[in-house]
Structure 1
Amino acid sequence: MEVFNLYIAGAMSGIPHTTYKPRRNNIKNKLENYYNNNSNSYPYILYVTDPSDYYNYDNQVHKSEKEVMNFELNRVRHSNLIVVDFYESYSLGTMTELTVAHEHRIPIIGINDRENVLHPWQIEMCERIFNSIDDAVMYIGEFYLS
């Protein structure tokens, strides 16, 4: 069975770990629950990468920002789908992840449940942008996993 690699993008620097980590866990858990409840009909094994499981700015285990950048962009390049949380829309790291995904023709699904103002390129790089995590998860399940 093939693996479907999904990457969760979104700002981490400048936002408390206690804010972004629960949001990412919520997205990841809902995707995994949706997949597990419907996995008999899916031709994939779902693998969700949340880069904050490996690196974060509150508990720095990395030696350089280059290490973090290379790890995250490598995961982006090897993903089948990117889910970006636009909780904070002014992140250069997130914009870089989206650009790399866009250049590799990897679909991007946005979540903008705070209705932040987005740059036009952020909007154009996304296949769709949802105002709720639940709506994004349903769409991903129906259109990308099945």
Structure 2
Amino acid sequence: MNSVYDFQVKMTNGKQKSLQDYKGHPLIIVNTASKCGFAPQFGGLQELYSKYQDQGLVILGFPSDQFNNQEYDNIDETTQFCQINYGVTFPIFAKVDVNGEHEDALFTYLKQQQKGVLSSKIKWNFTKFLVDREGKVVKRYSPTVVPSKIEKDLIPLL
């Protein structure tokens, strides 16, 4: 695999979507959880998306239930929560595992490209990966980094 564009991901309706569809766009890929204390970051992510989507930015949200079961069982509840509470309009995909035996291949790749502190393992919800227009993972952000702090790294990629 040479870029994030080589992957397919599962949409909330169960169908596969090729990340080729986002070729040429800078991306922020993030594992999310609706019931997490970091859930207000949905609002910050949406602000970035609204501000820069006309310049090509796409944010891809991947709900995960791996950290203290902080995601709804039903994906429709997840998407409704995001839309109602934070006005999310960026794509939200089907739930994924981001670590372990059943982890999604995209997240395996993301972690290989940008390792975290001490290990490549994702330690919590709202770990964010910044991807350039060529599909290269250029930076990884810990859950405590609020979306507005990504803006300075994002602007040169637009």
Relative to the length of structure 1, the TM-score reads 0.41
Relative to the length of structure 2, the TM-score reads 0.39
Question: Which protein is richer in helix relative to its size?
Answer: 1
